Structure 1
Amino acid sequence: MTKVTILQINDSHGYLESHPEFYWKGSKEIYRNAGGYARIASLFNQIREEQPGNVIALDNGDTIHGTFPVVSSRGEAMVSILNALNLDGMTAHWEFAYGPDHFKRIVEKLDYPMLAINCYDENTDDLVFPPYHVVKRGGLRIGIIGIAATIVDKTMPAHFSEGIYLTMGNEELPLYVTHLKEEESVDLVIVVSHLGYPQELKLAQEVPGIDVLLSGHTHNRVYEAVVVNGTIVIQSGCHGSFIGRLDLTVNGKVQHFRHELITIDDSIPPDPEVEALINTAVAPYKDTLRAKVGETRTALNRNRVMEATMDNLLLQALLKTSGAELAFSNGWRYGAPVPAGVITLNDLWNIIPTNPPVSLCEITGEELWEMMEENLERAFSRDPYNQMGGYVKRCMGLNIYFKVENPNKNRIQEFFVNGKRLEKSKTYTACFVTTQGIPERYGENRQHLDVSAIDVLQEYIEDYSPVTAELQGTVVPI
């Protein structure tokens, strides 16, 4: 019998330090601080000391983007911190936000491999990154396969995928599983994926021979591992607030496992070396980012699928600045919550770290209906492989009532704009941020205003502090 421990971090979104995190307690929302790479490093080191030579640590991606120190350094601020974790492999999604060429330069500085069986050079059809990596732990040969986020070239801004294309990876995966077992003689196969929990459960059902599938992208807090087609599947929240621990007992195959979703809280002492690296990374921005912008009466978060208070604040600010009838932003999952009270400049950068310009367009009622049906399909498709969104697109100025269970293009029952029934032949003015707010194929007379999202948020909060941004029932399943 051999014991192996797998440690998972996924979707940390560049949250180097401890931050507020959202929890449910019965029907109540509560907020407690969690996360921080110094504590994650400390936990990893502790587990490695307990089980020397038997630990594998893996990262599912959405790592080197999401907070001001990380984005302003184009990911460079995280390199030394990530290397200090002694990871064994990683895959990617928002890492492509700096463009594939810059991402590859970051990868060259990492002490561990970036893995993706489904990311190709569009000119040569060659893989951009290695498809797998083999490590030895506890006398076992363990194959690690990576699958990057397939949506990088489908729903993300165009610069994410310059010169590359991505597949789902479901056709390639069986070939690599077979190769690892027959040609590399591995004892275990681990897949580290950024497709999303629904997609990865389907993948595990389709592809035999995977021992462990580490899931990412959808920010699921999986408190109890599930077994699908003999594959153990876990996912471990987001923002570095949680770490997944999976202890395996292996004798020819996995005989037994124990899973724990560990909260990274102040009961874990920070590792002093990693804490020093973090302090160096954030020091140039600390005083600026802690500046008070105003206050909020509403706790701001992104913990609901249909609508979120954090995005309602952003949309209120967009409407006030633009004078448009409607406002849209993407259904982002990332962004640490802001409890009721003080809002700092750091909070604004956490809400929308790309700080895009505010845009305007004219869009017909017909296009609005089609765009929202498309978005609902990407959120709730019966086929997980067709789920390509974050949460439902964030909207203000409209009310949609829809049937989740209906098929594609037939979900919306009622559609109102500012209290009046949508007229498909009418043209409306809409403001938005990024092409994920309103994709380029919708609307016309698109223009960028000479103002960015952070400026708009800051001005709005300063003018209306203390602000409120309650849920309004904009998109409602019936």
Structure 2
Amino acid sequence: MPRLTLLQLNDLHAYLEPHPEVFWEAGQPMVRTAGGLARIKVYFDDVRREVSHPVIALDCGDTFHGTGPVVETRGAFLPGLLNTLGLEGMSAHWDFAYGPDHLKGLVDRLNYPLLACNITVEDGTLLFPPTRMLERGGLRVGVIGVACNLIGDMGSLWGTEGLRVTQGREEVARLVPELREQGADMVVVLSHLGFPQDCALAEEVPGIDVILSGHTHTRLMAPARVGATVLVQAGCHGSFVTRLDLEVMPGGVKVLHHELKTISADLREDAGLAEQIAARLQPFRAAAEEQAGETRAILHRGTTLSAPADLLLTDALRHAAGTDIVLSNGWRYGAPIPAGPVTRLAAWNLIPHNPPVSTAELTGADLKELLEDSLEAVFSRDPWRQKGGYVKRLSGLVMYAKAEHPRGQRILKLEVGGRPLDPERTYTAAYLTRQSVPEKYGRRHRELPLRAREALETYLREHGPYTPPPANVRLT
């Protein structure tokens, strides 16, 4: 039977060089160096030399956004670097943050396509091609791209209000048999829906051999199986990649070998690519060397309910805005900051898009409804209602909840400033972007003449060394 190796990159979030990454050992977070495109290139090239059968490398997206330098330059220098990896397709999510037209310009400079079966423009035509048929070593491999279904929700923030973005379920169900009719020996879905949604998709749609999953930053130590479909995902930040060796049979695929490969500091790197990356990042070296403050603990985003990095961010915003509480979106991306000095670049990478700080007035009832919506987006029993992010990040507010309770009934108790939440009282709140506090909640929304990065650096400088307080979201 013919064999095929799939190589997967997902949720790079523009981490181009080796960086700190969080690992869990004996129940505690640890930081080790991982990642780097120059090491990923060598690993991919080594696999291609090792095997005699075809190798296909694919990227699930969240590639062009996630670090301060790349966001500031709007991903302009990434295509030339990515083209060295031998990728043959990608999907997307935060890649749309600069607007659809800008993304199309970036993709035009890639030597492989962006695939998205679930995004159309106002006249109903597809923004990007939905599929690609790859012929390798006598095998015909049909690839279906599914972009993140949340892209359309970003509206004017990303300039996506003119797009129609679906969950991709109907499109994939239609495209799988179409690819089979075109002679596909196997079908791969290149997805940025998230692992829970991808499991649901595999259950709903027969005929998918492999789903390369992204969005949820899941480190799958072994392939998951839903029916006949194999699912894999490789963490985030380019700290890991997936290798999946398959035997392709008439009725499906057999997994011969799987590895969640850590791109560790002991791996060789491609010297030429490393030099190119270093040259591109040279204008930002000062920020990587200048100290903004100090932390007494690892600042990471590796936990769902509350995380030290976001405790710092929300505490800084509350100090800067002088509000009762702060709410920030549960973003997953952002490499951890080890205990010790905090550089300006490390702080910037926690909030690379550097949005303005906004304030609003919310009643206690508003807050409860908003946080119940956040819990539903994370813990919904229906995977298609999940949004893939973490619980809203908080400062000045403590939440006690039951994740297993039904929608709208999860919160047991809220405390503001150590006192029980008063549903009738109006509280002042600071937040970052409408992702954190949609306009339907509260009143008197306004932007302050202050951006997140300035607030964060000022707080580190004036109130360090920082010690994260206890977690403020607690499942009881």
TM class by smaller structure? over 0.9
How many angstroms apart in 2 are the aligned matches of 1:156 and 1:395? 24
Taking every aligned residue pair, what percent have the same amino acid on both sides?
A: 46
Contact 2:8-2:234 at 8 Å conserved across structures: yes
Residue 280 of structure 1: how far off its partner (Å): 1.9
- The letter for the 1-side match of 2:427 is Y
How many angstroms apart in 1 are the aligned matches of 2:254 and 2:153? 40
Q: Which deviates the most, 253-262 or 17-26?
A: 253-262
Other structure's SS at 2:269 match: coil
How many angstroms apart in 1 are the aligned matches of 2:442 and 2:101? 31
Q: Which residue of 1 aligns with 2:231?
A: 233
How many angstroms apart in 2 are the aligned matches of 1:194 and 1:70? 21
Residue 157 of structure 1: how far off its partner (Å): 6.2
Q: Which residue of 2 aligns with 1:60?
A: 60
What is the 5 A alignment of 1:76-475?
76-121=76-121, 123-154=122-153, 158-182=157-181, 184-252=182-250, 253-470=252-469, 472-475=470-473
How many angstroms apart in 2 are the aligned matches of 1:42 and 1:52? 17
Contact 2:215-2:388 at 8 Å conserved across structures: no
What is the 5 A alignment of 1:28-43?
28-43=28-43
Other structure's SS at 2:374 match: helix
How many angstroms apart in 2 are the aligned matches of 1:290 and 1:97? 28
Contact 1:99-1:159 at 8 Å conserved across structures: yes
Contact 1:378-1:389 at 8 Å conserved across structures: yes
- The letter for the 2-side match of 1:91 is S
- The letter for the 2-side match of 1:111 is N
How many angstroms apart in 2 are the aligned matches of 1:158 and 1:257? 44
- The letter for the 2-side match of 1:248 is L
- The letter for the 2-side match of 1:206 is E
Q: Which deviates the most, 273-282 or 342-351?
A: 273-282
The structure-2 alpha-carbon separation of the partners of 1:81 and 1:339, relative to structure 1 and needing over 3 Å to count, comes to same
How many angstroms apart in 2 are the aligned matches of 1:73 and 1:52? 40
- The letter for the 2-side match of 1:60 is C
Other structure's SS at 2:38 match: helix
Contact 1:375-1:389 at 8 Å conserved across structures: no
Moved segments of 4+, more than 6 Å: none
Q: Which residue of 2 aligns with 1:8?
A: 8
Residue 437 of structure 1: how far off its partner (Å): 1.6
- The letter for the 2-side match of 1:32 is R
Residue 160 of structure 1: how far off its partner (Å): 4.6
Other structure's SS at 1:355 match: coil
How many angstroms apart in 2 are the aligned matches of 1:227 and 1:163? 36
Residue 38 of structure 1: how far off its partner (Å): 0.3
How many angstroms apart in 2 are the aligned matches of 1:98 and 1:52? 40
Other structure's SS at 1:161 match: coil
Contact 2:295-2:340 at 8 Å conserved across structures: yes
- The letter for the 1-side match of 2:309 is M
Q: Which deviates the most, 437-446 or 34-43?
A: 437-446
Residue 53 of structure 1: how far off its partner (Å): 5.9
Residue 290 of structure 1: how far off its partner (Å): 2.1
RMSD of the TM alignment (CA)?
Answer: 1.3
- The letter for the 2-side match of 1:309 is P
Residue 155 of structure 1: how far off its partner (Å): 5.5
Q: Which deviates the most, 309-318 or 432-441?
A: 432-441
Residue 162 of structure 1: how far off its partner (Å): 3.4
Residue 251 of structure 1: how far off its partner (Å): 3.5
Contact 2:194-2:388 at 8 Å conserved across structures: no
Contact 1:243-1:263 at 8 Å conserved across structures: yes
How many angstroms apart in 1 are the aligned matches of 2:156 and 2:332? 16
- The letter for the 1-side match of 2:218 is N
How many angstroms apart in 2 are the aligned matches of 1:424 and 1:389? 29
Residue 156 of structure 1: how far off its partner (Å): 7.0
- The letter for the 1-side match of 2:5 is T
* Cα deviation code 1:356-388 (max 9, x no counterpart): 111111111111111011111001000000001
Other structure's SS at 2:127 match: coil
How many angstroms apart in 2 are the aligned matches of 1:157 and 1:381? 27
Residue 272 of structure 1: how far off its partner (Å): 1.8
Contact 2:244-2:255 at 8 Å conserved across structures: no
Other structure's SS at 1:144 match: strand
* TM-score, with length taken from structure 1: 0.97
Contact 2:397-2:472 at 8 Å conserved across structures: yes
- The letter for the 2-side match of 1:164 is L
How many angstroms apart in 2 are the aligned matches of 1:466 and 1:366? 36
- The letter for the 2-side match of 1:396 is S
Residue 309 of structure 1: how far off its partner (Å): 0.4
